[in-house]
Structure 1
Amino acid sequence: MLIIQGKGLSIEIEGHRLFEKVDVDIEKGEKCALFGRNGTGKTTLLRVLKGELEPQEGQLYRGVSAEEWGWLEQKQEERSDMQLLEFVRSASEEMAGLKRELERLQAAMNEQNHSIEDTWEAYSEVYDRYVSRNGYEWERESEECLLRAGLDRQYWDIPFGSLSGGQKTKAQLASLMLQKPEVILMDEPTNHLDQETLMWLEQWLREYSGTVLFVSHDREFMDNVADSVIALTPAGTRKYKGGYTAYKRKKEEELRRQEALYRQQEQEKQHILESIRRYQQWFHVAHAAAGVRNPFYAAKAKKNISRYHAKEKQLERLEANRVEKPREDAGIHVRLEGESFHGDALMRLQQVSFCYDGMPLLFSQINLQIARDERLAVVGPNGSGKSTLLKLLTGELSPTEGEVLRHPKCRIGYFSQELEQLDENEVLLDSMLSIPQMTQTEARTLLGCFLFSRDAVYKRVGALSMGEKCRVAFLRLYFSGAPLLVLDEPTNYLDVDTRERMEAAFERFPGAIVFVTHDRYMLGRMSRRLLLLGRENGQALVYPAGYDEYVKALKEGTFMASGSEAQRRAERSRLEMELSYLIAEPAEDEEEQRRKIVDLKRRLEQLS
């Protein structure tokens, strides 16, 4: 049973055609991902399907009434002053209205400024309606939904607008759970969510009996939730079964078939053109030989001109059914370079602990060495101190205890998730021309590689979208030449195509990378070691393999990270770091150095 159907939908905004010929067919209970590059109109299409916008062309069918639609959007400005608990309950308008009326009438009776009898009668009537609709059960359920979404009672009185990005998303999810709509539209539901909440959300959506249409750049989330993918382009839509991986495989197969068919048609076209040229030449020779009175050559000329016209018709049919040459969509082209670095270690942390003034300890006694080819992912729940740790590496913060030792020749390229290092008043082209010996042609070429072409080069940074600002931040990394990149959520505002291009650039980067990301595809693709934060008593743990191996160990129950096992791993990491530095550093007393090396190796063997 179709619950959403759109035919030939087109939208034009301020004279700009955003998309056209969009077809959408979604079955009852289907979980569908709406996929496309930034700027193709995914959020706009969600608003059209919900009824907030009217398409200029096309027809739209909705199988359920507006009250049965739930909506998780990126911005919630209208209800930002509501306390969290009130925000969650406000999704059920009738019940929330009855609850407010009960509270108002009760307050009026307490004040005794009104006729008690009249107020009591009104209160009794509202109370009966509230109880008949299981109002107190609804109150209990709203609290349960908040707890299930990971929002404890300490947050319930906080205004919605004061919550963090991840908490706002959790609040909207709790509201949807309470509402239980038939159809849920979700715009970037995974933004700002930690790994634990992401896994919970995936499980909840898989078990949800209603229909879900969502926009997300999280490839693993699409794989784990979506039954189908609707690919949106300015020219229309196409639907694919399965999640992102299945979509990508089918898309690549389509492009290969299109490329093969295009080459086949080009060969056939050249063959037809050669035949046309040959018949045309034969016709002229036979026509000249026929003269005025030679019927044999006249018939031969007529035969050749008939063949010539037949080939022309064949060429017309071929052109009418022509397959276009596959074209690569415009995308970022970048190769990040770092200065060559001689030496094994760029940085090391010794017994590093940190806490903000008056706050509990975020993490304690971290021992860590960052090598010149490092690919270290910092992993942990929201609030565990991941961004703080990166700021310790860059020197923006200093540890509460311990020390961060940096190689004197190690420069750091830093990408902050808040992008606060960008000058909002800076004009893109001017900022490039300020680089010594940079010409306007070179500046425009480089900006074009980062998808800033034509008049876009005259934009101020403050006028750019978040995705465009990310590209500007990558441009800064391009010119940093630093042997160590520290990246805090570098792909948050990028579409999947740009994410994959940047991941490829990071993979080719010859230096070291320490990064934080919620993108599990990126974690699996790039990480070689993990630093796990948010553990008991602020303990941190260096896991000696990548994210995929870590997840596999968790699922198989072979990962032990508490108690003596965690201490053993931490001690082994510390001893390995001490050994590597002992071997690398010249010694005044070589005999004493050899003795220490032998002792460290013996202790490492015992730990193994």
Structure 2
Amino acid sequence: MHYRHSRKGNNMIKINHLTITQNKDLRDLVFDLSMTIQDGEKVAIIGEEGNGKSTLLRALMGEALSDFTIRGDIQSDLQSLAYIPQKLPEELKNRTLHDYFFLDSADLDYSILYRLAEELHFDSDRFASDQEIGSLSGGEALKIQLIHELAKPFEILFLDEPSNDLDLETVDWLKRQIRKISQTVIFISHDEDFLSHTADTIVHLRLVKHRKEAETLVEHLDYDRYSEQRKANFARQSQQAANDQRAYDKTMEKHRRVKQNVETALRATKDSTAGRLLAKKMKTVLSQEKRFEKEAQSMTQKPLEEEQIQLFFSDIQPLPASKVLVQLEKENLSIGERILAQELRLTVRGQDKIGIIGPNGAGKSTLLAKLQQLLSAKREISLGFMPQDYHKKLQLDLSPVAYLSQTGE
């Protein structure tokens, strides 16, 4: 791949025939992407998990990717960028807040830093603390990265699924911030509401034909109009493909009858003159057949769809709706010496669906872990648990098949 600076002042990224191939299985992740990103554009990269969105984002940042072969040409006059990855980088986990904000941070604008802390309701006194970033909740860790990166000078902001761990209030703040800033923003998201409020350009990475063929769609439209256009195009192409197929089938049925009649007459004739005429007619029929087959190749094709994920749950007998599973009375929640909740009262019954909401750092994950601990002690309950950081549960040294095979189901 060639990543070169274009003339200064252009403030855009121009991508020419970019393909990214995963070295271990030679699978194209991004197929022939060509587009120009103008200064101030808000570009959303969307698509299913595993389609190469994060890889594309890092390639646009000019990052060298050891596991991938990148071909194509990226022209850019990008001098400074801000980047917030999908998960907290390992090198930040053991850093203290003090070091993160006050060591090697000569480029931070502290007036912006403290204003952002106030807007995001983050206690700015904590900037000077010795608390390790890895000990923060997922939402708080993301929030301090937002504060840090947005307080730097940057021309393009790169975000990898920024709304995943943020509380609702901060997500709304981030939507407004993306719309407000004049810089270019390139981001990945699965959140349709977030996309609807932020993006003005869509890059859609798809894997079709049983995930064996990559396809890239680029539209300079907001997400709502893009979705409407895709649905309309899909319906129109599906209808046209069905019409073309019906017309083709009708033509071929008529052709088969003519061919069958000529074949029957040829077998039955004993007259050499009639036989020659029928043979000539059969040659014409066969020539027509080849022409019909060639025309079929240019018919409107049925549009390709990404295969839907089919979810199902085991036929487990549900618990009685009235059965009390957990009864919290005046429960206190805390992390270390920090009290998160006092005199919490909560009753959990057999078929309840309970959503825990609140600002980042308020103790939602702590409460969930408390409930999981109490429920796991009950033998009559089969329990599933998905933590915020999946790496705490996944065995990373196993292949997906080996990990999923452990249950024997």
TM-score range, shorter chain: 0.7 to 0.9
State the Cα deviation string for residues 88-144 of structure 1 (Å, max 9, x = none): 577876x47xxxxxxxxxxxxxxxxxxxxxxxxxxxxxxxxxxxxxxxxx4434333
State the Cα deviation string for residues 175-212 of structure 1 (Å, max 9, x = none): 33222422111112223222222221111111111111
* Greater per-residue strand proportion: 2
Q: Distance in 2 between matches of 1:17 and 1:426?
A: 22
Aligned residue among 355, 362, 365 for 1:384: 362
Shift of the 280–87 alpha-carbon distance from structure 1 to 2, 3 Å rule, reads same
Deviation at 1:270, TM superposition (A): 2.7
Aligned residue among 28, 46, 58 for 2:72: 58
With the length of structure 2 as denominator, give the TM-score of the two structures: 0.77
Shift of the 419–50 alpha-carbon distance from structure 1 to 2, 3 Å rule, reads closer
Q: Distance in 1 between matches of 2:309 and 2:382?
A: 26
Does the 8 Å contact 1:9/1:56 carry over to 2? Answer: yes
Letter in structure 1 aligned against 2:139: G
1:573 maps to none
Aligned residues: 384
Shift of the 390–72 alpha-carbon distance from structure 1 to 2, 3 Å rule, reads closer
* Greater per-residue helix proportion: 1
Are 2:56 and 1:45 aligned? yes
Are 2:337 and 1:359 aligned? yes
Q: Distance in 2 between matches of 1:292 and 1:397?
A: 92
Aligned residue among 65, 69, 80 for 1:68: 80
Are 2:258 and 1:316 aligned? no
2:216 maps to 237
Q: Which of 1 and 2 has higher RCO (CA within 8 Å, sep 6+)? A: 2
With the length of structure 1 as denominator, give the TM-score of the two structures: 0.54
Does the 8 Å contact 2:200/2:223 carry over to 1? Answer: no
2:273 maps to 293
Letter in structure 1 aligned against 2:322: D
2:141 maps to 168
Shift of the 32–290 alpha-carbon distance from structure 1 to 2, 3 Å rule, reads farther
Shift of the 394–238 alpha-carbon distance from structure 1 to 2, 3 Å rule, reads same
2:113 maps to 142
Letter in structure 1 aligned against 2:126: Y
Greater Cα radius of gyration, structure 1 or 2: 1
Matching of residues 564-583 of structure 1 within 5 Å: none
Deviation at 1:80, TM superposition (A): 5.7
Letter in structure 1 aligned against 2:155: E
Are 2:29 and 1:29 aligned? no
2:160 maps to 187
Does the 8 Å contact 1:343/1:372 carry over to 2? Answer: yes
Deviation at 1:34, TM superposition (A): 0.5
**More divergent stretch after superposition (370-379 vs 200-209):** 370-379
2:255 maps to 276
Q: Distance in 1 between matches of 2:343 and 2:105?
A: 48
Deviation at 1:317, TM superposition (A): 1.8
Q: Distance in 1 between matches of 2:161 and 2:234?
A: 28
- Unmatched tracts of structure 2, length 5 or more: 1-9, 208-213
Deviation at 1:348, TM superposition (A): 5.8
Aligned residue among 12, 37, 41 for 1:3: 12
Deviation at 1:335, TM superposition (A): 2.8
Are 2:171 and 1:198 aligned? yes
Letter in structure 2 aligned against 1:17: R
Are 2:384 and 1:414 aligned? yes
Letter in structure 1 aligned against 2:331: S
Does the 8 Å contact 1:184/1:213 carry over to 2? Answer: yes
Identity %, equivalent residues: 23
